[in-house]
A and B are shown apart, each in its own frame.
Chain A
């Protein structure tokens, strides 16, 4: 790994939430990964695995019930966690920006699309209103919104879901960020519109040479877009590697189960693999390996927390029994 190519490094990040009874929810518990310049990585996992909280923590936007309790977030070597709130405001939007899952709730309904984009531009760049408006119009054109000038004066409700998502992407790109975080950017969209948006993100990334962190539960989207994949489960990273490592040689039982339980369009599967049970309650994560109560390879070793092991070049796994993963090919998840 060449140091000067590193754009963002998350090290041992811990984000805990506290409920009314004062109980501690370890939503993100020691998560680490890195992003190179111009690279797309994916954070994948099911609901509650901590992927969205991780992304909010990178922007220091965790809400007031939560606290970043440890770790480092290095953007080109500078630790974002040590910045003042004022300095952080400079980073948001200019260096790192984010697009959200629900374009309808992320856009402000009482301002026009134009006003919202122009606001972001003026905040970070020394431009007059007229110059900013021109930039906004170009941005809308860049993201493929027809009749861009007219659209600037429209309100979010006048746009379709796909168009709203495009407008949000335009806003996120308004200051040429180095890192774009896309949190389930296409989950609320139809597949033909999803295809348009994914194509757009890929295209813009190439043009602008951004690093993209794609947060999603859809492994199909991941396979098509991400160069590297970080799999999360119950607030921890369980496996990390190139997309080929993850899709063709998964070494964590959770990754294996996830891949085998997704319905695929290209083959008819007689029976889908099943990961028994449900994601554990964050108040009651199992000790040791957090996946152990659903894992077919579990034994008493799993009571201690597995450490990070590099099994191939930059393919990391957190499992005591990763060498036995082939057993699953014959036996599956049935005990």
Chain B
């Protein structure tokens, strides 16, 4: 892994307007992503985790410029793509591809899978038609679908197979960066491991870089080199994977990891049960956004917003009292 980031995101914000009344006036904002900065290095897998509504998917979509950023910059290979006009985005999109969560809605039901995989290559005119065909067949083979499937339609495939098609489509243009948004959440256990292993193999073979967005921490543990934890539109912790899973620092990370059930009846970590629900991103709490649910919050937490600071080797947390909550085996 070298040290020049492939992607650099600085103070990125994405607000969605809330409209009301006859004239659809904007009456407020949903602050889905609210000042997020991070880097992605070549050939790493960066996990973005958090619960629903934390902004992780919006972040992925904004980085891809599928949503217009409200503020902040996105540097891809040194070039600021956050303000590029749509006409110039094509070249960038070739290098950033996406794998979607739902393999049932992300494939056009009226296209056969060969043309789904070929489409991107045709749009970008990367090769002659016979070459495009050859490459599509090759990719389908790589993801475990033989040439005999080439002219079949998406409805003829199972969820796992469709996800393989989505992966082949994402790789067709030889991207540098692949943003995978919950790519295995809708799959059954036995199929999930097939897809995870496939993603790992392809990464090695094509020197890919992944942003892996997921709510499933056990999956993230298996596939990610570094982890970003988000809560209500903010980054609360960034850490190296092994560090994060052995000693998370932010109280939210600690509670989150302790709540994941482990498939072993002898494994007993004292679950830290957070009270209440995630507050609304329309009116996030003052100070630290987590203080309303934090078991170790003190007065300062409701007043001053903590900055992301280095708390250990390869570990940053946005907390006034990092490391004050920990889980122990009971």
A-to-B contact residues, CB < 8 Å: 46-47, 160, 162-163, 190-196, 198-199, 217-224, 243-244, 247-248, 257-259, 261-266, 268-269, 271-276, 278-279
Contacts and interface: CB of A to CB of B under 8 A. Distances in A.
Interface stretch (B20-28, B99-107, B215-223): B215-223
Interface string B151-164: 00000001011000
Given A193-B277, A263-B196, A274-B197, A247 B265 contact: yes
Given A190-B51, A266-B267, A217 B189 contact: yes
Contacts of A273: 193
Contacts of A247: 263-265
A262 B160 contact: no
Contact of B189 (A162, A258, A266): A258
Given A46-B190, A219-B189, A274-B190, 19 more contacts: A46-B188, A191-B51, A191-B215, A192-B51, A217-B188, A220-B262, A223-B264, A224-B261, A224-B262, A243-B265, A258-B189, A262-B218, A263-B193, A264-B218, A264-B262, A265-B218, A268-B222, A276-B194, A278-B191
A195 B273 contact: yes
Nearest to B198: A274
B219 A263 contact: yes
Given A223-B267, A261-B189, A263-B218, A192 B256 contact: yes
Interface in B242-258: 242, 245, 255-258
A190 B216 contact: no
A218 B261 CA distance: 9
Nearest to B263: A219
A257 B191 CA distance: 11
B324 interface: no
A95 to B, nearest CB: 29
Contacts, number: 128
Contacts of B52: 190
**Interface size grouping (class) on chain B:** 35 or more
13 contacts: A47-B188, A162-B277, A190-B278, A194-B261, A219-B263, A222-B263, A223-B261, A224-B262, A244-B265, A264-B264, A268-B245, A273-B193, A279-B190
B259 A272 contact: no
B192 A265 contact: no
Interface of B: 51-52, 158, 160-161, 188-194, 196-197, 200, 215-219, 221-222, 241-242, 245, 255-267, 271, 273-275, 277-278
A223 B160 contact: no
Given A193-B277, A268-B222, A263 B259 contact: no
Contact of A223 (B194, B265, B271): B265
B193 A261 contact: yes
Contact of A220 (B161, B215, B222, B260): B260
A151 to B, nearest CB: 13
Given A244-B265, A272-B197, A278-B158, A160 B222 contact: no
Given A190-B51, A268-B221, A272-B222, A261 B259 contact: no
Nearest to A242: B265
B242 A268 contact: yes
Nearest to B275: A196
A247 B261 CA distance: 14
A199 B222 CA distance: 27
A108 B256 CA distance: 31
Nearest to A49: B188
Nearest to A261: B193
The 5 A-B pairs of least Cβ separation, nearest first, read A220-B261, A272-B193, A190-B51, A261-B193, A195-B259
Nearest to A266: B262
Contacts of B264: 223, 247, 264, 266
A272 B196 contact: yes
Contacts of B263: 219-220, 222-223, 247, 259, 262, 264
